[in-house]
Amino acid sequence: MALTPRIAIDAMGGDVGVRMMLAGAAMARHKHDGLRFILVGDEVQIKAALDNHPNLRAASDIIHTDGVVTGEDKPSQAIRKAKSTSMGLAIDAVKRGDAGGAVSAGNTGALMAMAKLALRTMPGIDRPALAALLPTLGANDVVMLDLGANTECDATNLTQFAVMGAAYARTAMGLERPRVALLNIGTEELKGTDEIRDAAALLRAAKGLPMEFTGFIEGDKLSRGDVDVIVHDGFSGNIALKTIEGTARFVTDLLRRAFTSSTRSKIGFLISRPATELLRHHLDPNNHNGAVFLGLNGVVLKSHGSADAKGVANCVHLCAELIEKDITRQVTEDLANFRSGDAA
């Protein structure tokens, strides 16, 4: 039976804060009227924002706090004030079982540190990983992990990421046997570091898992849609993610400049507008907003700090879907099967 989604929202996180976070939550509830919320933050600001969203107000409880985790706070600083900040109390609601998941657009490092400390890693996981869905030229998006939670990883970490990423792809994209690859500097078996080659050997030997390990993939193939899950350490993954985002902005800015360079170009833009609108929609990061910390005993999602209401709504929708489909249970079962197969 599907779980009823109740989501704790760090209302004070993000570049805009309360207004944008609540607008996104309200937009999500208009499409999914079963959603309920715990809104954490300054009560006066929250109630003022709720005046514009009566549908959200009817489905929300408020936890008041004046404390906020800033973008400059180090993870250690955030942990020390976890019990008095909107981010910390949103995570605590998941720990207590009052909410099935939490969404924050605040400081990523602080969110990771507090979530790991409060929820702990699930059995069989050494380190949680940050995973996100990115657009491709294929029929499905691609899951990429780790995107920055762990700058250095050994072969065991990478194999655990692969198992978690495959479970996430089955949950978020409905794939029976996701295709999984390791990011490497070449596709030949002898390429890459010892950690990557050892992880590949472990994944090739794994039996009985609902995934297909396809080997290595190079950086120029990340968006082709040839695989469903791409695994890497957080250092490489964060660079790859920022490169993809920068390239998307480069393409859109280049097109904008080209189409406004002359009268003829402006006429050409009007003719090609349907195609450029499709491209803009495909590259819009708000359509793929929401990165999840996999490997924790609870669901925690990071929304992009600059996300608009649509972006926040998409993150909330993803959080609800992971709660309903019980992603934590699926990852736990896959890890148990992986360990039993490894032992055999």
In a domain, 116, yes or no: yes
Q: Would the pLDDT of 341 be above 90?
A: no
When the pLDDT of each residue in the chain is averaged and rounded to a whole number, the result is 88
Instruction: Give the pLDDT of residue 246.
Output: 83
Query: Is there a single domain that holds both residue 275 and residue 168?
Result: yes
Query: Is there a single domain that holds both residue 282 and residue 146?
Result: yes
Residue type for position 28: A
Query: Is there a single domain that holds both residue 70 and residue 144?
Result: no
Query: Is there a single domain that holds both residue 233 and residue 243?
Result: yes
Q: Would the pLDDT of 272 be above 90?
A: no
Query: Is there a single domain that holds both residue 150 and residue 273?
Result: yes
Query: Is there a single domain that holds both residue 54 and residue 154?
Result: no
Q: Would the pLDDT of 206 be above 60?
A: yes
**Per-residue pLDDT band at 55 (split at 50, 70, 90):** very high
79-93 average pLDDT score: 94
**Per-residue pLDDT band at 95 (split at 50, 70, 90):** very high
Q: Kindly list the distances between the CA atom of residue 23 and the CA atoms of 1, 75, 290, in Å, as whole numbers in the listed order.
A: 30, 28, 16
> In which domain, by residue range, is 318 found?
1-121+295-325
* DSSP label at residue 213: E
In a domain, 260, yes or no: yes
Q: Would the pLDDT of 269 be above 70?
A: no
Instruction: Give the pLDDT of residue 163.
Output: 93
Answer with the one of 275, 293, 311 that is the final residue of a domain: 293
Which tens digits make up the pLDDT trace of 32-49? 888 999 999 999 999 999
Where would I find the beta strands (DSSP E) of the chain? 6-10, 36-41, 60-64, 101-104, 129-134, 142-145, 179-183, 212-217, 229-231, 291-294, 299-302
Instruction: Give the pLDDT of residue 17.
Output: 84
User: Higher-confidence residue: 284 or 297?
Assistant: 297
Integer Cα distance of 141 and 130 in angstroms: 16
6: left (phi over 0), alpha (psi -120 to 50) or beta: beta
Instruction: Give the pLDDT of residue 196.
Output: 95
Which tens digits make up the pLDDT trace of 16-26? 889 999 999 99
Instruction: List residues bridging with 181 in a β-sheet.
Output: 215, 230
We report the CATH number of the domain holding residue 251 as 3.40.718.10
Integer Cα distance of 332 and 192 in angstroms: 29
In a domain, 343, yes or no: no
CA dihedral 172, 221, 335, 298 (to 10 degrees): -40
CB 292 within 8 A of CB 7: no
- Sheet containing strand 291-294, strands side by side: 60-64, 36-41, 6-10, 101-104, 299-302, 291-294, 129-134, 142-145, 229-231, 179-183, 212-217
Integer Cα distance of 7 and 290 in angstroms: 14
Q: Would the pLDDT of 65 be above 90?
A: yes
**Per-residue pLDDT band at 149 (split at 50, 70, 90):** confident
Q: Quick one: the chain helix, strand, coil %, rounded to 5?
A: 50, 15, 35
Q: Would the pLDDT of 263 be above 50?
A: yes
Q: How many domains is the chain built from?
A: 2
Angle between helices 43-50 and 18-31 (to 10 degrees): 50
Instruction: Give the pLDDT of residue 255.
Output: 73
Instruction: Give the pLDDT of residue 241.
Output: 85
In a domain, 335, yes or no: no
213-217 average pLDDT score: 95
User: Higher-confidence residue: 277 or 27?
Assistant: 27
Which tens digits make up the pLDDT trace of 158-188? 999 999 999 999 988 889 999 999 999 999 9
Q: Would the pLDDT of 231 be above 70?
A: yes
Integer Cα distance of 122 and 113 in angstroms: 15
Query: Is there a single domain that holds both residue 171 and residue 302?
Result: no
CB 165 within 8 A of CB 294: yes
Cα four-point dihedral sign 320, 322, 328, 333: positive
Instruction: Give the pLDDT of residue 190.
Output: 86
Query: Is there a single domain that holds both residue 168 and residue 102?
Result: no
Integer Cα distance of 225 and 300 in angstroms: 26
Instruction: Give the pLDDT of residue 281.
Output: 56
Residue 52's SS3 state is coil
